[in-house]
Structure 1
Amino acid sequence: MMYKAYQTFANLHNPVRMFAKASERVSTNWFGNFSLNPMQRLAAHYEQISLLGFTHTRPDFKIQSVMDSFGVEQPVTEELIYSTHFCNLIRFSKPNISGQPKILLVAPMSGHFATLLAGTIKTLLTDHEVYVTDWLNIRDIPLSCGDFDFDAYVEHIINFLQVIGPQTHLMAVCQPTVACLAATAIMSEDKSPYVPASLTLMAGPIDVSQSPTKVNELATSKPMSWFEEKLIGVIPNQFNGTGRKVYPGFLQLMAFMSMNPDRHAESFRKLYEYRVNGDDEKADVIHDFYEEYFAIMDLSGPFYLETIKKVFMDRDLANGTLTYQGRLVNPKLIKKTFLLTVEGERDDICGIGQTLAAQGLCSGLPGYRKSHHLQAGVGHYGVFNGKRWESQIYPVVRNHIQSAL
Structure 2
Amino acid sequence: MFYQMYELNHAAVAPMRAYADAMRLAFRNPINPLSHTPFGRAMGAGFELFERTTRRYSKPEFGLNETSLNSGKVSVHEKVVWSRPFCDLIHFERTLPANHRPDPKILIVAPMSGHYATLLRGTVETLLPKAEVYITDWTDARMVPLSEGRFDLDDYIDYVISMLHALGPDTHVLAVCQPSVPVLAAVAIMEESGDKFAPSSMTLMGGPIDTRINPTGVNELAQTKPIEWFEENVIMQVPWPLPGFTRAVYPGFLQLSGFMTMNLDRHMIAQKDFFLHLVKDDGDSAERHRDFYDEYLAVMDMTAEFYLQTVDTVFIKHSLPKGEMMHRGRKVDTTAIRNVALLTVEGENDDISGLGQTEAAQTICPNIPDEMRYHYVQPKVGHYGVFNGSRFRAEIAPRILDFMRSHGKANRAKRGAPKLIKGGKSA
TM-score normalized by the length of structure 1: 0.95
Partner of 1:84: 84
Partner of 1:40: 41
Distance of aligned partners of 1:40 and 1:96 in 2 relative to their CA distance in 1, 3 Å threshold: farther
- Quick one: distance in 2 between partners of 1:169 and 1:143? 33
Asked if 1:51 is matched to 2:52, the reply is yes
Identity of aligned residues (%): 43
Partner of 1:7: 7
Moved more, 261-270 or 50-59: 50-59
Any idea what SS the aligned residue of 1:74 has?
strand
Q: Match for 2:364 among 346, 361, 364?
A: 361
Encode CA deviations 1:200-234: one digit per residue, 9 max, x unaligned.
Answer: 11111000000000100111101111111111001
Q: Match for 2:201 among 198, 203, 207?
A: 198
Instruction: Confirm or deny: 8 A CA contact 1:219 1:312 kept in the other structure.
Output: yes
Q: For residues 243-322 of structure 1, what are the structure 2 equivalents within 5 Å? A: 243-322=246-325
Any idea what SS the aligned residue of 1:350 has?
coil
Letter in 2 for 1:7: E
Asked if 1:382 is matched to 2:415, the reply is no
Instruction: Confirm or deny: 8 A CA contact 1:210 1:351 kept in the other structure.
Output: yes
CA RMSD, Structure 1 to Structure 2 (Å): 1.8
Give the CA deviation at 1:45.
Answer: 2.3
Q: For residues 5-404 of structure 1, what are the structure 2 equivalents within 5 Å? A: 5-30=5-30, 36-53=37-54, 55=56, 57-68=58-69, 70=70, 72-97=72-97, 99-404=102-407
Moved more, 368-377 or 43-52: 43-52
Instruction: Confirm or deny: 8 A CA contact 2:29 2:35 kept in the other structure.
Output: no
Any idea what SS the aligned residue of 1:155 has?
helix
Distance of aligned partners of 1:55 and 1:329 in 2 relative to their CA distance in 1, 3 Å threshold: same
Structure 1 unaligned blocks of 5 or more:
none
Instruction: Confirm or deny: 8 A CA contact 1:173 1:203 kept in the other structure.
Output: yes
Letter in 1 for 2:24: E
Letter in 2 for 1:217: E
Larger radius of gyration: 2
- Quick one: distance in 2 between partners of 1:19 and 1:197? 55
Distance of aligned partners of 1:341 and 1:17 in 2 relative to their CA distance in 1, 3 Å threshold: farther
Instruction: Confirm or deny: 8 A CA contact 1:247 1:299 kept in the other structure.
Output: yes
- Quick one: distance in 1 between partners of 2:68 and 2:85? 34
- Quick one: distance in 1 between partners of 2:174 and 2:142? 27
Distance of aligned partners of 1:48 and 1:326 in 2 relative to their CA distance in 1, 3 Å threshold: same
Moved more, 32-41 or 344-353: 32-41
Give the CA deviation at 1:332.
Answer: 1.1
Letter in 2 for 1:43: G
Moved more, 356-365 or 59-68: 59-68
Distance of aligned partners of 1:242 and 1:363 in 2 relative to their CA distance in 1, 3 Å threshold: same
Give the CA deviation at 1:282.
Answer: 2.4
Give the CA deviation at 1:269.
Answer: 2.0
Distance of aligned partners of 1:41 and 1:56 in 2 relative to their CA distance in 1, 3 Å threshold: closer
Any idea what SS the aligned residue of 1:126 has?
helix
Encode CA deviations 1:30-52: one digit per residue, 9 max, x unaligned.
Answer: 35998754323322223322221
Letter in 2 for 1:59: P
TM-score normalized by the length of structure 2: 0.90
- Quick one: distance in 2 between partners of 1:169 and 1:87? 19
Distance of aligned partners of 1:279 and 1:153 in 2 relative to their CA distance in 1, 3 Å threshold: same
Distance of aligned partners of 1:16 and 1:378 in 2 relative to their CA distance in 1, 3 Å threshold: farther
Give the CA deviation at 1:56.
Answer: 6.0
- Quick one: distance in 2 between partners of 1:16 and 1:124? 43
Moved more, 25-34 or 337-346: 25-34
